[in-house]
Structure 1
């Protein structure tokens, strides 16, 4: 057991170094791997001490530690199952609006996660040209421009019409992405109804039948590990019938993203965001 824990600690340190070197910066939540490494080292030392001095260690202590670790592994496994179950979705063709969630914009351009999302959005528009994109993301302290405007520039460069995009530039979290995007969609719907009302041909009462507006279909496009949380937040914040679309995440950082997403899901569930 001791050598397994030492190997796990070494693996966590190595992966932390890989994240920093590969990303070119200390990506958010990367410190957790050093925390894991320290925890594995403490467990290894504790286990070694326990095996040598069983008579000095009360039984409740190792039982509590093992129970805590097993519970953590079980919770993590259940959350990860939910995360990747969320990648599978219903028929997402011909959506009225597709919310594209932002990701970090670097000084030298888009992050890999954001570029992957936008490439997926372009692919989706090629098959569903009537869908309006809602580009969601504000400007962080270390970002040169808002995520939404960087997304727009990339899409325009790749042939997407500006008239087919709505920019939402106030959000700094997934909850705000969804909430402000919903407001942007409602405002766009109101403008469209006003235009239709001005262009309606006057007809005598009784010569036509009013047909109620069909429900608008809204989707959310984000990285595969993020789809489940985005859908759950959307359902809580006013978009009950949301369609999830996933883009591929960076394979090198996928394990890190999954761990970070697990923590984010537990936090959002705890504070009532989902």
Structure 2
């Protein structure tokens, strides 16, 4: 029975070539064998997709990292720049503040000095220069603080800079010339000395003039053959002519014989001092004319304060003095700055007018 079932069972059609089921199964198997494995394909596709996705994600991560690094670098650069600017501001601000403070202090010092010069009652109004200087320094301090110089166009800054440089150089040169004659002692046994006048008060000369007279008396005592000419007229704020007060001081206070003193009471400037004194010398020695060309030129010394010697000698040479020397007297130390600055302006005025 089992054998029948195995060999002839109609239900067993596996070996029957005409069986429809067998053909279908065969076809199905054939199709199954020849059709690509969808699962494998899908798996491969999934792997490829995953790889692509991974690559894309890596690329995106790399780009993100690069962007992050770039942002970090930009942040670091910005921070460094801000730190540099902060440092520059931190350095620049104290310098500006310090410079402004220094100029302000100079302005207040100039005002104080103006008051000191005014209180000496020298008879001049040069103390106003120090007031003007204080105002100029105040403007300069404001210009430093508010950066006014940067606001000016180049067309204005260049001429201003040139003018300031020329003015400073000229002032420096005049000061050097003044200093070069501040210790002149003159020669011994001069024929004449001329004492230039200055402010006199009732009964006494001013401090500046006293320096000149004391130096003249010292020279006259050391050189008994020298004649002294005191030169100076009467100013609007003086009780009498400067020459009169100078002669009285030399005779009564310094002990110089009156016969050695000649008064010249008509001059009001250094130019007039030397011109009028020269006329007296020429008259006494028959010099200064064409008929007396064989007469020797007298030797002359000019007695004045140390800051005034250079300009006095310059004026003397311009007026024809040939054998002339400077004799420098002292001057009040607290007023030396005022006198030297004033002398530079007087020198500039003389050069312009001569």
Tell me, yes or no, whether TM beats 0.5: yes
| 1:27-42 pair list within 5 angstroms | 27-42=124-139
**CA distance in structure 1 between the aligned counterparts of 2:154 and 2:145, rounded to whole angstroms:** 15
Per-residue deviation, 1:25: 6.4
| 1:99-248 pair list within 5 angstroms | 99-157=194-252, 158-190=254-286, 213-248=295-330
Structure with the bigger percentage of helix: 2
Give the number of the structure with larger relative contact order, counting CA–CA contacts within 8 Å between residues 6 or more apart. 1
Shift in alpha-carbon separation, 1:161–1:189, aligned structure 2, 3 A: same
Kept after mapping to 2: 8 A contact 1:235/1:241: no
Per-residue deviation, 1:267: 0.6
Kept after mapping to 2: 8 A contact 1:19/1:27: no
Residue 45 in structure 1 maps to residue 142 in structure 2: yes
Which residue number in structure 2 is paired with residue 9 of structure 1?
107
| 1:35-114 pair list within 5 angstroms | 35-50=132-147, 54=150, 56-89=151-184, 91-114=186-209
Helix, strand or coil: the match of 2:193? strand
Pick aligned residue for 1:19 from 96, 117, 127: 117
Helix, strand or coil: the match of 2:179? helix
Per-residue deviation, 1:62: 3.8
**Greater mean alpha carbon deviation, residues 87-96 or residues 227-236:** 87-96
Per-residue deviation, 1:50: 2.2
Highest CA radius of gyration, 1 or 2? Answer: 2
Kept after mapping to 2: 8 A contact 1:87/1:244: no
| Structure 2 residue runs without a partner (length 5+) | 1-98, 288-293
| Structure 1 residue runs without a partner (length 5+) | 192-211
**CA distance in structure 2 between the aligned counterparts of 1:164 and 1:10, rounded to whole angstroms:** 49
Per-residue deviation, 1:108: 5.0
TM (norm. structure 1) is 0.85
Kept after mapping to 2: 8 A contact 1:221/1:247: yes
Kept after mapping to 2: 8 A contact 1:220/1:245: yes
Per-residue deviation, 1:260: 0.5
Helix, strand or coil: the match of 1:219? strand
Which residue number in structure 1 is paired with residue 334 of structure 2?
252
Q: How many equivalent residue pairs?
A: 249
**CA distance in structure 1 between the aligned counterparts of 2:285 and 2:341, rounded to whole angstroms:** 38
User: 1:35-91 deviations in whole A, cap 9, x for unaligned?
Assistant: 11111111222232326x94x431343444343333322211110110111234475
Helix, strand or coil: the match of 1:261? helix
Per-residue deviation, 1:164: 0.5
Kept after mapping to 1: 8 A contact 2:193/2:303: yes
Helix, strand or coil: the match of 1:221? strand
**CA distance in structure 2 between the aligned counterparts of 1:67 and 1:109, rounded to whole angstroms:** 47
Helix, strand or coil: the match of 1:253? helix
Per-residue deviation, 1:142: 0.9
